[in-house]
Structure 1
């Protein structure tokens, strides 16, 4: 009996090596959003301490059964203890990034507690400066899913001030001169009464929600451009299909939680718009092949991943051109403004409530027009 225990213990110790050599079990590779440690080189061992430290890190990242054991531990935490170190597990299958609720949102509150007035003054300054260039600033802040589905949050989420500093700021931005404010929160609140507006397993709003916001925005610009009738004329068609969002896929489980997601089915001619991708600073430039009486002037946009769903909803088909730049850092806005063509009548700045680079840039106001510092 004692010998059997010794043999079992020895085999357990050997299992990682056996798996590493044979690969008999599926790898279950984990997306860790980082580079795994490379194997040490002979040169690393000129200093033995450095060499063995490099080897130790390499071993920790690559030993057999590592990914399986990580998934097993995460699966037990998720299924048995209803917890995760990566996401908050909400009610009714809702997932919320811990990094957003525990770190980024508190940081946003601190920002608005100290620089609220500076940011608002910067937006007003930038709008006035763009107006002198015959361009109109379009501001579209976006609140995150926890705002609309607060009742689905678990009890262990941080308690932040209500209303938030971001909300109080947006109420002031609505009244600023020389800009167009797109009230996405008001649109989503109305739509939420009829259908779900965010994915349960993803950070983002769904494309039917973006459709509603895009329609409101396009019609606002149409009124500003002197077009009397609503510009947005394609109908909303929704399909449901199984969906595993990024918050779910981010979890190293054996089977990720899924949902029936809502998606827009194109009801417009998708060939009406020509797309050129990776054009210098521009992620893409779209051009409408044939303009009509309701075609809006060129739009330049600095936005984050939430804008992607607007494009999926047919947003770009209403503009003669759309120049798209994605947020990368605090210098994104000045770099974009330095390269946006003068034909852009509207300059859109879209950002979510934890988009720190947007806050830092907008607080600089008209200084952004002088280009990167």
Structure 2
């Protein structure tokens, strides 16, 4: 198979889909690898390193034109839509539920769209989302602590406090991988931390690993309103795989927060969980202030730390890339039911129900396309 990766064009997105090490593994397996010139530079990988493992360096259009499979990190943007070709495999984060134009481009060009974020592992885990969720969770606290500084419109406080000064309150809505890693960072800084989640078993697990250091709360609208009001830093990280994130933090709740508090919406790439976040922000222009509250809604948080993020992600994606390349997408999906859950579009049809429902489009069952 001919496999390629290209330079990411999302604002301040420096990750890359394939590392030189990954390219070497694919070459050893008998595949051809094409890489856009300069694609790895943001992650610290030079063109010379790719050349050394037998990669061909081309421009973006050539990579798209010549490859059977494109491995990216983030969803393609509008300038790339006309580069797709029929039956091309696109293996990347897609987050299609809020992306009608991208979805229509994939359908129109009959692209085989396999989304990292909906691939399932053992015990119903999300193996290709977890690496970046860990990074985003840890960074959310780091970022929130920064934007609590007065120069950004924050309260002008140190999140962990100092002797004689009370630490800040971090409230995390969602106790999954992002929330757990956010809690680790917040506890490490010395902040007061509360995690809200609907699953009592998950809360019990969080209580056990933090030995009672984190307050655990069963999530409902009453508790979200109560704890949002207390938050100096609110981190929204609820995930429904492939679907739009429910707006759990309502506008009236945000209005009751104390001025200068900070909201980080990690779920913004699935539509976001905070009602007052009405647009995605970027690393270039990451925040805006509404009702006196600092709102941060960057959709590619891990892109700011590409050296860590690229290697962590590639470690998880490469075995799946090899499966698809060695067997072809259809056989690979037949052999791995978890990978099959990653299929979002094929032959002009949507095969992931949450995406079809969010975009009000017809849904095709997996069994019909894997015959």
Range of TM-score over shorter length: under 0.3
Max radius of gyration: which structure? 1
Q: Please report the TM-score for the alignment, with normalisation by the length of structure 2.
A: 0.28
Q: Please report the TM-score for the alignment, with normalisation by the length of structure 1.
A: 0.28
